[in-house]
Structure 1
Amino acid sequence: MKSMTILYTIGDSLYVNLTNRCPCNCTFCVRHEKDSVCEGENLWLEREPSAEEVIEEFKKRNLEDYKEVVFCGYGEPLVRIDELIEVSKYIRSVSDIKIRVNSNGLADLVHGKNTAEMLKGWVDSISISLNAPSKEEYNEITKSQFGLKAFDGLLNFAKEAKKNIEDVQFSVVDCITEDQIERSRKISEELQIPLRVRKMIE
Structure 2
Amino acid sequence: MTKRNDLTPGTDESTGRPSWQRWLRERSELGVSVLLLLLGVLVLTDALAMDVDMTQRGPVGPRTVPIAVGIGLLVIAALLAVDVLRGGRGEAEAGEDVDLSEPADWRTVLLLTGVFLGAAVLIEPLGFPVAGALLFWGAACALGSRRPDRDPLIAAVLSLVAYVVFNNLLGVPLPGGPLMGVL
Q: TM-score, normalised by structure 2?
A: 0.19
Say which one has the larger Rg: 2
More strand by share: 1
More helix by share: 2
Q: TM-score, normalised by structure 1?
A: 0.18
